[in-house]
């Protein structure tokens, strides 16, 4: 469901026919242009989508005789339409107003061209209807990589993020990260508006990153590309030393690379996080240092075997 007021405000729509509904029954981000339905083809009718009428649809309706137009619109409005948007400022047909009022379907108008408006509406609905969840952690942008830092309370997530900010990177969210899935494999993280740009440092209290370090030190939202989980060093536990195996975690059905970093006194965590971000970018470009080292060892072994022969 989409709040009617949010829909109208975000897309700068004019209300032609209003209803008493506070929410629009829109559950998908795509739109439908009902040219085929006005031509009396109903087998594949995406009536659950916002109905967008542009130059083609309005011109086609205007060329019909009145009885045919009335019959097509009557059948059209027999479906549970969420809303109708008329683009390019075309006037609404009287029959359309009558049937829309009878079925409690709101009609809106925009002066924008149909395709441009449709793209903006799809983007708005994708963000608005995106699956969401909230996670405990810190989100920072390190060399342009959206890094979600997680771990138990007190492990040092905020302190690590503060050191990264001092080194020129950007804070997105501290302690609480709102995550939404945009598309099939993209996650966007941001901070709740109430605590945006604030950070809690134990022993110091609440600090305002934007005021303390400038607006260049913060960013409102960021694509989450990797997760780094911090935990206190556990003696006897085997930690990955080569990086040959790729580990992943799943958030809202999207798999992203995941690292486990053990924390112990004297370890420069900010530098390790920077290296993690750089290494992630190199892997995206097709270079894996662990694989390169393994390749060199194999070449050395093969040369040694050939010399023995």
| φ, ψ for residue 291, nearest 5 deg | -65, -35
Catalytic residue among 3, 88, 103, 175: 175
User: Is 120 a known active-site residue?
Assistant: no
308 in active site: no
Residue identified by tokens 């619109």 is 73
Strand partners, 148: 139, 227
Catalytic residue among 72, 157, 169, 181: 157
The Cα angle at residue 132 between residues 127 and 138, in degrees rounded to 5: 105
Q: Is 136 a catalytic residue?
A: yes
Q: Is 157 a catalytic residue?
A: yes
Q: Which of 22, 237, 241, 245 is catalytic?
A: 241
Among the listed residues 15, 97, 111, 136, the single catalytic one is 136
Residues identified as active-site: 136, 157, 175, 241
């Amino acid at each position: 469901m989409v709040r009617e007021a949010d829909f109208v405000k975000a897309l700068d729509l004019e209300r032609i026919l209003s209803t008493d509904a506070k929410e629009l029954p829109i559950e998908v981000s795509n739109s439908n242009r009902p040219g085929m339905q006005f031509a009396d083809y109903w087998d594949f009718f995406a009536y659950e989508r916002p109905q967008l009428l542009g130059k083609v649809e309005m011109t086609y309706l205007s060329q019909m005789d009145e009885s045919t137009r009335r019959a097509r619109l009557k059948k059209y409005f027999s479906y549970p339409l969420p809303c109708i948007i008329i683009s390019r400022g075309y006037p609404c047909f009287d029959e359309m107003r009558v049937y829309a009022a009878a079925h409690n379907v709101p009609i809106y108008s925009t002066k924008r061209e149909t395709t441009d408006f449709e793209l903006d509406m799809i983007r708005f609905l994708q963000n608005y209807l995106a699956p969401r969840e909230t996670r405990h952690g810190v989100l920072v942008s390190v060399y342009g990589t959206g890094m979600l830092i997680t771990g138990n309370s007190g492990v040092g997530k905020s302190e690590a993020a503060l050191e990264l900010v001092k080194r020129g990177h950007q804070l997105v969210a501290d302690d609480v990260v709102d995550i939404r899935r945009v598309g099939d494999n993209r996650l966007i993280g941001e901070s709740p508006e109430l605590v945006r740009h604030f950070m809690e440092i134990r022993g110091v209290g609440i600090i305002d990153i934007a005021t303390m370090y400038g607006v260049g030190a913060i960013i409102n939202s960021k694509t989450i590309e990797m997760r780094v989980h911090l935990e206190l060093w556990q003696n006897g536990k085997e930690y990955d030393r080569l990086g040959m195996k790729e580990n992943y975690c799943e958030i809202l059905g999207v798999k992203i690379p995941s690292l486990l970093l053990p924390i112990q006194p004297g370890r420069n965590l900010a530098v390790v996080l920077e290296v993690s971000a750089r290494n992630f970018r190199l892997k995206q470009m097709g270079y894996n240092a662990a694989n390169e080292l393994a390749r060199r060892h194999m070449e050395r072994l093969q040369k040694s075997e050939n010399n023995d022969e």
